[in-house]
Structure 1
Amino acid sequence: MAKILNVNHLQKSYSSGNKTLKVLQDISFGVEENTTFSIVGPSGSGKTTLLGLCAGLDSPDSGSIELCGYILSTLDEDERALLRNQKVGFVFQDFQLLPTLTALENVAVPLELQGERNALNLSKDLLEKVGLTNRINHYPSQLSGGEQQRVALARAFSTKPKILFADEPTGNLDSETSENIEKLLFALNKDFGTTLIIVTHDIELAQKTDYILELKGGKMLTTQNPIADA
């Protein structure tokens, strides 16, 4: 099966005062198309940094990343932004909805940026898929945390991304709401044929994915297939 993401010998450091903090050290892995993949590890292990590098939101000190057939280091910032706009979706722990827009308008934004003329109708259909038909004209402040994350999921899948990065997608939710969001995330991912990469500290969530990469102290400890290992 073709790889949608290839990471080779990734290194990333940050300067802190007179010290250099090594955040990621010699990280290499690949993710096949149409699979689910989780990155786990304790706080400070480099999970979110790794996700940002893979999505082209930041650049490594050394090593290479190939995303959707493009070597990220060969693209300028505008080209990376275009790649994300056309092929990448994001879901964040804190939802990142625009507070002055309704649920419907929030979902429509990425579609409108792509020039989709039928953005509002497509957005209505997506909000129906995530069970929010009666909340489409509500603003984020009028929605619960679980409802806001449902809007964020609808927005993330609206452009039919090839790959979706989810950073602690259930981190701000209670256990029951988390379970519902997880089911919805995996169901939408299957429906749209997307490759899903989840950063999480939740081992139970990670074990629901096809592959797990474990980080500790910026180093890769293991990659495993929980289904094969079960």
Structure 2
Amino acid sequence: MAKILNVSNLGKSYSSGSKKLSVLEDITFSIEKGDTFSIVGPSGSGKTTLLGLCAGLDRADTGSIELCGTDLGALSEDERALLRSREVGFVFQNFQLLPTLTALENVVVPLELQGDKKASQIGIQLLEKVGLANRLHHYPSQLSGGEQQRVAVARAFSNQPSILFADEPTGNLDAETGEKIIRLLFDLNMDTGTTLVIVTHDMELAEMTQHQMRLKGGKIVVAQNTPLL
């Protein structure tokens, strides 16, 4: 299988006053196209920072990241944004929906920015797929947390991404609703072949993915393909 993400000797640190705080150190792993992969670890272990680097939202200090066959380090800010718009989907813990737009409008924003004339049609189909056919014209404030996350999932799949990054996708949801969202993500992964990368502290969720990696203190302590004990 082709590798969709290759991370090699990745390091990232931030300045905190006069001190340098190391967030990630010597991270190396790869993910194959179509796989489901989880990154787990306690708060402060570097999970979200790693996700942002892999998606090209930030630059690493050391090492390299190859996403969809492209070296992110060789790209400008605009080129990375273009790659994300074509290849990447995101689902966040806090939904990140635009409050002044309806569910349908939130889903079609990425498509309209690309000038897709079928944006509305695609948006309706996606919202039907996530069980929100009767909520197309509701605003986020009129939707439950679970419904808002379903809108976010539909939006994430709107550009038919090669890879989807989900950062604590069930973090703000009750257990039952969270379970439905996860099932939805895995079903869409199966239907579309989109690679799914989930950052989570939920061990049960992590064990649902084909491969897992555990971080602690910015380092890998359990490598991929190794059962989490």
Q: 1:200 and 1:103, CA in 2 relative to 1: closer, same or farther beyond 3 A? A: same
Give the structure 2 partner of residue 98 of structure 1: 98
Partner residue in 2 for 1:212: 212
SS in 1 for 2:125: helix
Displacement of 1:115 in angstroms is 1.4
Q: Does 1:38 align with 2:38?
A: yes
Pairwise mapping of residues 146-157 of structure 1 onto structure 2 (< 5 A)? 146-157=146-157
Identity among equivalent positions (%) equals 71
Does the alignment pair 1:116 with 2:112?
no
The one-letter code of the counterpart of 2:128 is: E
**Is the partner of 2:43 in helix, strand or coil?**
coil
What is the distance in 2 between the residues matched to 1:157 and 1:224? Answer: 25
Q: What SS does structure 2 have at the residue aligned with 1:173?
A: coil
Provide the rounded CA distance (Å) in 2 between the counterparts of 1:62 and 1:128: 43
1:13 aligned residue: 13
- Say whether 1:72 aligns with 2:59: no
CA distance in 2, matches of 1:114, 1:164: 18
Q: Cα distance, 1:225 vs. partner?
A: 2.8
Pair 1:28 & 2:31 matched: no
Equivalent position SS for 2:223: strand
Moved over 4 A (4+): none
User: Within the alignment, does 1:54 sit opposite 2:54 as a pair?
Assistant: yes
**Cα distance, 1:229 vs structure 2:** 8.4
Runs (5+) with no aligned partner, structure 1: none
Structure 2: runs of 5 or more not aligned: none
Q: CA RMSD in A?
A: 1.2
Q: CA 1:115/1:89 → structure 2, altered by over 3 Å: closer, same or farther? A: same
Cα distance in structure 1, aligned partners of 2:203 and 2:33: 23
Q: Quote the Cα distance in structure 1 between the aligned partners of 2:55 and 2:182.
A: 21
Bigger Cα displacement from structure 2, 137-146 vs 107-116: 107-116
Deviation string 1:90-112 (CA, Å, 9 cap, x unpaired) is 00000000000000000011111
TM-score by length of 2: 0.98
The amino acid across from 1:103 in the alignment is A
Q: Which one-letter code corresponds to 2:81 in the other structure?
A: A
How big is the shift at 1:189? 1.2
SS class of match (2:121): helix
The residue that corresponds to 1:84 in the other structure is: 84
* Residue 118 (structure 1) shift: 1.0
Paired AA for residue 123 in structure 1: G
Q: Distance in 2 between matches of 1:61 and 1:224?
A: 23
Mean Cα deviation higher: 200-209 or 112-121: 112-121
For normalisation by structure 1, the TM-score amounts to: 0.97
